[in-house]
Structure 1
Amino acid sequence: MGPDLPPNAVLARRLYELIDDGDIDGYLDLIADDAVFHIGGDSIVAGEHRGKDAIIRLGRLVLAETSGTFQTRLLSVEANDSYAITLHHWTAERRGERVAMDNFNVYRFERGLVTERWEYVADQHAHDAFWRR
């Protein structure tokens, strides 16, 4: 990471590094207490996850449902003074099925913290089928 990267690009990259390192406390330190994560579709992960407790429940659900197989790899980051957009590739196994897909997330930052995240998936039908109830 060079010194010319916007601060929100550095923060977005740091989020992925912390997840890769398994540092959940460090990750949560970068999330505002009243943050909202938006996930579209019709599945067990879809909806608006409001506040850190809801975001923690979402993370626990993903890990439990995938028996810890969920992995993500950051591909690209673009950012400005308020937002960052990340493109990542993720894989997971659940109920004997395996998924590999690209997503992009839009993060809104205030005071160096994530206040909102919108998740967009490459194939909503396949995403919903994988995360079906």
Structure 2
Amino acid sequence: MDGGPARSGGSVVSHRRSYAPPASEHPNVTLLRDGYTAFAKGDIDFIRGLLADQVVHRVPGRGPLCGEYRTPEEILGFYVRLFELSGGTFRTEPYAVMADDANGVALVQTYAERPGKVLDSRAVDVFRLDHGRITEIRTLAEDQYTDDDFWS
């Protein structure tokens, strides 16, 4: 059976299951979702509150934005730079977020425009968390070469 609708007595019966979120999700899932919402709104103060004082954001690759950002201020500066270089078009939207007490992962769709270039790709953001604060972020682009070229 393919999981599609079946006919039963003249009516259509669906065998597909729809996604129903759990009655309650892990608090770190909520924390990460709220962080992406704040990022989309440009709420720097909220994002700053999520970052531990000893935080690092690692962005692998060879592009001009790749490297390690080791303080909340450096990380926030990196985010501002993404918006500046893309003329305010940069956005990252999670389509799946998972987390436990110490780790989190967000699968994200990223989009940005620059003169003559469009970035529309996926990435994975991997988090380490400690008592409701982010201590580490690793952003892994689906196609690092395309990502590096776009920001160069």
The Cα of 1:20 is off from its aligned counterpart by 1.9
CA distance in 2: counterparts of 1:21 and 1:69, whole angstroms: 12
2:111 partner amino acid: T
Report Cα offsets for 1:19-69 as digits up to 9, x if no partner. Answer: 122212111111112210000000111001000121122112111111101
CA distance in 1: counterparts of 2:133 and 2:110, whole angstroms: 23
Q: Which contiguous aligned blocks of 4+ residues in structure 1 show a shift greater than 6 angstroms?
A: none
Are residues 1:98 and 2:118 paired? yes
Secondary structure at the residue paired with 1:42? coil
Gaps of 5+ in 2: 1-20
1:1-133 mapped onto 2 (5 Å cutoff): 2-132=22-152
| Number of equivalences | 132
CA distance in 2: counterparts of 1:72 and 1:91, whole angstroms: 6
Report Cα offsets for 1:47-97 as digits up to 9, x if no partner. Answer: 010001211221121111111010121100111110110001010012321
CA distance in 2: counterparts of 1:2 and 1:19, whole angstroms: 25
Q: Rate the CA distance shift 1:68–1:37 in 2: closer, same or farther, 3 A.
A: same
TM-score of the superposed pair, with normalisation by structure 1: 0.93
The Cα of 1:3 is off from its aligned counterpart by 4.6
Report Cα offsets for 1:77-131 as digits up to 9, x if no partner. Answer: 1111101100010100123211100001101111210010011111011011111
Instruction: Give the number of the structure whose alpha-carbon radius of gyration is greater.
Output: 2
Percent of residue pairs bearing the same amino acid type: 30
CA distance in 2: counterparts of 1:114 and 1:93, whole angstroms: 28
User: 1 or 2 for the larger relative contact order (CA 8 Å, sep ≥6)?
Assistant: 1
The Cα of 1:4 is off from its aligned counterpart by 2.6
CA distance in 1: counterparts of 2:94 and 2:110, whole angstroms: 9
Gaps of 5+ in 1: none
CA contact 2:44–2:76 (8 Å) conserved in 1: no
Secondary structure at the residue paired with 1:44? coil
